[in-house]
């Protein structure tokens, strides 16, 4: 028996040694090594901030109810772009798509180089009336107070639109002679489904235009959000989840509740929901592993040890990730029951009962595979399934492409304290409509968010620091310039 325990002890020591060795050797520093930092351009700060403030003041709001669309506001924003950036207006070819989305084209001299596309959207989400009193500055004031710019759109996503235009205006003023064609595409209804972006994508397809890379909104520079690294981490989206609503419906006979059947239509739907929630989709650590392959070297031993030894500790890592909704959403297709409907009176049996379940689809899963999963776990032919508002998960773009390398190096050359990592975008962006136009689609804004400011995204007191906005202009200037130079 003593010999047996000795063998067990030796095995445990060997396993511990292997775990520690891998923790200290598995993650190499893959970050772009900066040998020549980018020299920031001089900006007329007061003029730049005034133009951005003006953009925030124009109420380009997207409502789910399309009848509330404010045509005058979007026309005013078009006028603002034309008058605020006269060189862009003069030296680029502009095409109006679906009335209000805009494409800008700065023609390159080398037609052998595929163009680059930079995207943003002009619209913003509405302000809840009940939240108005909580805003420290009026939400469409564009006020600049204590080096902070306030208002809806400062983060999502007028920051991209206006900073891109500032960058292009500056480049044209410097007499840029682009080798590669540069396109800007600004949608007008991203917050309401992106019909404008769909139309823009169709336009490019009809013109047989394919892009070397596409950069849209999505990732940001996170500060204190990613566990482990003490440095800020720039998350560059290389893919985004898809989405689909499945409506579950059951037909019933109706009648008075005093003589119910064994299971009413509502009861059958309720059981189906229980079965769905009790059978979540399996976890996949692919994106999590890819992210930490880039930043794992900068994490403490307590993080590196399990991450470097997923061959043994993946169940523990999965349990930790699934314990929080924010991290769980990154490792599996999520299930959210959002709507229920039955009878309209307490003593009337429903003739139809229904529920809507929203799924955010992890790349690798599909709408068809979700339907198959639902049929298996519900296991009741009385429950009818109908897919609504469906959009497949995106393809996964390479981290070895010109586009990713250019984004990564530009971030690092502006600030080498920032680590860069690929990640999966959990929400939806306009870039989802451009899958057929490039193999390399990325999602990133040079905006810094921490756990507090992250809540302002679509929330109360949306704001951006003056420093961050000016840095966004520097980023777009540098990356557009490098892309244009070929």
Q: What is the pLDDT along the chain (486 residues), one digit of tens a residue?
A: 677 778 888 888 888 898 999 999 999 999 999 999 999 999 999 999 999 999 999 999 999 898 999 999 999 999 999 999 999 999 999 999 999 999 999 999 999 999 999 999 999 999 999 999 999 999 999 999 999 999 999 999 999 999 999 999 999 999 999 999 999 999 999 999 999 999 999 999 999 999 999 999 999 999 999 988 999 999 999 999 999 999 999 999 999 999 999 999 999 999 999 999 999 999 999 999 999 999 999 999 999 999 999 999 999 999 999 999 989 999 999 999 999 999 999 999 999 999 999 999 999 999 999 999 999 999 999 999 999 999 999 999 999 999 999 999 999 999 999 999 999 999 999 999 999 999 999 999 999 999 988 888 889 999 999 999 999 999 999 999 999 998
Catalytic residues: 123, 190
Is 376 in a helix, a strand, or coil?
helix
| Contact status, residue 219 vs residue 236, Cβ threshold 8 Å | yes
The CATH-assigned architecture of domain 242-391 is 2-Layer Sandwich (3.30)
pTM of the predicted protein model: 0.95
Strand partners, 365: 363
* Mean pLDDT of the residues in the chain: 96
| Contact status, residue 212 vs residue 116, Cβ threshold 8 Å | yes
Q: Which long-range contacts (CB under 8 A, 24 or more apart) does 280-283 make?
A: 280/332, 280/335, 281/332, 281/333, 281/334, 281/335, 281/362, 281/365, 281/373, 282/332, 283/318, 283/321, 283/322, 283/331, 283/332
Where would I find the beta strands (DSSP E) of 223-263?
A: 233-240, 242-251
CATH 3.30.70.360 domain range(s) in the chain: 242-391
Task: Please compute, for residue 15, the number of CA atoms within 13 A of its CA located in the half-sphere on the CB side.
Answer: 11
The residue with tokens 């930043």 is: 295
* Cα dihedral sign, 421-422-427-432: positive
CA atoms of 221 and 296, how far apart (whole Å): 17
CATH 3.40.630.10 domain range(s) in the chain: 45-218+402-414+428-485
* Cα dihedral sign, 461-479-214-116: positive
The CATH-assigned architecture of domain 45-218+402-414+428-485 is 3-Layer(aba) Sandwich (3.40)
Which residues fall within 8 angstroms of residue 365, CB to CB, at 6 or more apart?
281, 333, 393
Which segments of 283-386 does DSSP mark as H helices, in order? 286-295, 301-307, 310-322, 325-328, 367-378
- How far, in whole angstroms, is CA 102 from its chain's centroid? 21
């Amino acid at each position: 028996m003593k010999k047996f325990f000795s063998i067990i002890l030796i095995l445990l020591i060997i396993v511990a040694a292997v775990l520690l060795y891998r923790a200290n050797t598995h993650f190499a520093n893959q970050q772009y090594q900066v040998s020549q930092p980018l020299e920031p351009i001089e900006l007329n700060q007061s003029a730049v901030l005034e133009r951005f403030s003006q953009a925030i003041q124009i109420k380009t709001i997207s409502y789910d109810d399309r009848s509330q669309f404010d045509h005058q506001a979007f026309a005013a924003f078009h006028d603002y772009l034309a008058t605020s950036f006269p060189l862009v207006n003069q030296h680029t070819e502009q095409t109006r798509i679906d009335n209000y989305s805009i494409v800008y084209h700065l023609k390159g001299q080398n037609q052998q180089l595929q163009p680059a596309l930079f995207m943003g959207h002009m619209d913003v989400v509405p302000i809840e009336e009940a939240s108005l009193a909580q805003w420290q500055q009026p939400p469409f004031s564009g006020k600049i107070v204590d080096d902070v710019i306030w208002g809806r759109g400062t983060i999502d996503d007028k920051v991209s639109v206006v900073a891109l235009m500032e960058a292009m205006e500056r480049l044209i003023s410097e007499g840029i002679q682009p080798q590669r064609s540069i396109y800007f595409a600004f949608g007008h209804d991203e917050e309401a489904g992106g019909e404008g972006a769909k139309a823009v994508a169709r336009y490019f397809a009809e013109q047989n235009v394919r892009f070397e890379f596409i950069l849209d909104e999505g990732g940001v520079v996170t500060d204190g959000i990613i566990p482990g690294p003490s440095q800020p981490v720039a998350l560059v989206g290389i893919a985004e989840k898809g989405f689909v609503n499945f409506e579950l419906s059951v037909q019933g006979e109706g009648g008075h509740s005093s003589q119910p059947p064994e299971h009413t239509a509502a009861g059958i739907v309720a059981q189906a929901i229980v079965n769905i929630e009790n059978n979540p989709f399996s976890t996949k650590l692919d994106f999590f592993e890819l992210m930490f392959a880039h930043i794992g070297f900068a994490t403490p031993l307590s993080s590196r040890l399990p991450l470097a030894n997923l061959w043994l500790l993946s169940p523990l890592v999965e349990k930790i990730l699934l314990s929080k909704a924010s991290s769980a959403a990154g490792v599996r297709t999520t299930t959210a029951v959002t709507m229920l409907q039955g009878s309209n009176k307490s003593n009337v049996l429903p003739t139809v009962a229904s529920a809507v379940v929203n799924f955010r689809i992890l790349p690798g899963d599909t709408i068809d595979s979700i339907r198959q999963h639902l049929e298996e776990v519900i296991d009741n032919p009385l429950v009818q399934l109908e897919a609504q508002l469906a959009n497949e998960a995106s393809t996964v773009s390479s981290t070895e492409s010109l586009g990713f390398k250019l984004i990564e190096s530009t971030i690092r050359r502006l600030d080498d304290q920032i680590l860069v990592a690929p990640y999966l975008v959990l929400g939806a962006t306009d870039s989802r409509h451009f899958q057929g136009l490039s193999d390399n689609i990325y999602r990133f804004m040079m905006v810094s968010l921490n756990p507090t400011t992250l809540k302002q995204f679509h929330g109360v007191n949306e704001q951006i620091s003056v420093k961050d906005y000016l840095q966004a202009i520097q980023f777009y200037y540098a990356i557009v310039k490098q892309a244009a130079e070929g």
